[in-house]
Structure 1
Amino acid sequence: MRIVFIGTVIFSYKALEQIIADSANVVGVITRQTSVFNADYADLTPLCLEHNLPYKYVNDINHPNNEAFIRQLNPTVIYCFGWSNLIKAEILSIPPLGVVGFHPAALPYNRGRHPIVWALALGLNKTASTFFFMDSQADTGDIISQQEVPIFDEDTSQLLYDRIVSTALVQIKEFTLALQTGSITKVQQRIAEGNSWRKRNKSDGRIDFRMNSRTIFNLVRALTLPYVGAHIELANGEDVKVWAIIIDDHPNENIEPGKILNVSDNHIKVKTADGAVILTEHEFTQIPSVGTYL
């Protein structure tokens, strides 16, 4: 079985590393030289150079030159793990077994953009690692492997990312063997039962202390490193990043949300809709005073 591998994030690197270690026949790799889009960007060429694999840097995966490169490699299957653009039908039809894609959610639910961020921001207690045969739409093809992944209260985006990757690497080993032996099982998605998450924007990362404490906590842990960080918008228009908080029950309901309740060792306690939160990691250059408002 001849595998062409497409990817450009940390998970892509780890997946390719394992596939090579498992002695699968990788015949070529497509990646990006740089990426301003992927917070978890990774260049796959060090693995290619180490193992003497043909590779190509691309921007538009669907460019005729890139299609020609793939055809020359004559793949039996393409693995596309960590690539944010849709692949056109001409490329999808090249490998006889198809193109296997990956999505860190329980398809058909939560298709679309930023699945790890949304899962944490919405306070879900589980997600999934899903591999499927790609078609002309995003995340809608037949599923070949899906494994539930729990989400814990202490999870940040990085911890959840790492857990999903660990789960996915086991799945890759299993379905690669099944593809090689012709024993793969496909499950058609019931698209009408699922949903699709939209692309997040800057306003989705703004902390509003009229939110309840749990919502703010979920937002901060969803957007912390390696992502862009949640932010507080100050009265002067400046944005201040917040990287970590803890929830602090505050029984006094007769205080407006956003009021600074206490400052200690660079920790800032702020009233919320239903209690308080303590900002423990942030980028305030000047610590606000007790009694002022955010």
Structure 2
Amino acid sequence: MSSADAVTTVGILGSGIMGAGLVEVVARSGRDVVLRSRSRESADAAVEQLSAGLTRQVDKGRLEADERDAIVGRISTTADLADLAGCDLVIESVVEDMAVKKELFAQLDDALEPEALIASNTSTLPIVEMAVVTSRPERVCGIHFFNPAPMMRLVEVVRPLTAADETISTALAFAESCGKDAVEVTDRAGFVVNALLFPYLNSAVRMWEQGTASIEAIDTAMQGGCNFPMGPFALLDLVGLDTSMAILEALHSEFGEPHLVPATSIKRMVAAGHLGRKSGRGFRAY
């Protein structure tokens, strides 16, 4: 039996955009999925939205109706952590707040069978701090999908100091069985992608603040000059200015480098509630 075969039922914590995307990815892989949210209503709403998206794919001829029905049929919802007891793997995808995550990991430790794996989808926070609040730190790792999870191929499997080799091999095999390109990374702030990406995004904002070029010109230059799919300001608005600021603060906290301090404009926009696409206004209006 392969490591991937050891994971037949997966729990997902969090019914936001990322949580719903993870549910779709796992259900498409042929596994049963339990989506847990703080309220059953929000979990059900996420599944309804997922189902509607799959129906649009059927209407466009990209998915067969029976395949849509099979995917949705593998999904169940709950507001009770006890309903995750039968899961082989639980992936946490809630707010990027360490205190919230640690409390949740301690509760999961009590709710799950001793052999179950617990993973975080955090993009920046240290996995080891979550692992040590459980009685199974060797069975805790990071499994970081990118947004939107059904479309983005990369998954960073994060190895904290406490993780067993079997945990990491199972997580890698699981991600690959979901059709993803999985890479193993060390448990350090930002891992690979965000540790490289966000200093670049922050530098773009500072370049604009210094008057080097307009937002539109910088975005156009990076798309046309580097063949990037979108410019830095469009990407910041897509990610969310609040999320971007939190990632930069985590990077600065770990590495202490001045260029990692969030640009003044990012901090002021977050304070004003201009968070990007999700709020209708960021560096651009939506």
Q: TM-score, normalised by structure 2?
A: 0.39
More helix by share: 2
Q: TM-score, normalised by structure 1?
A: 0.38
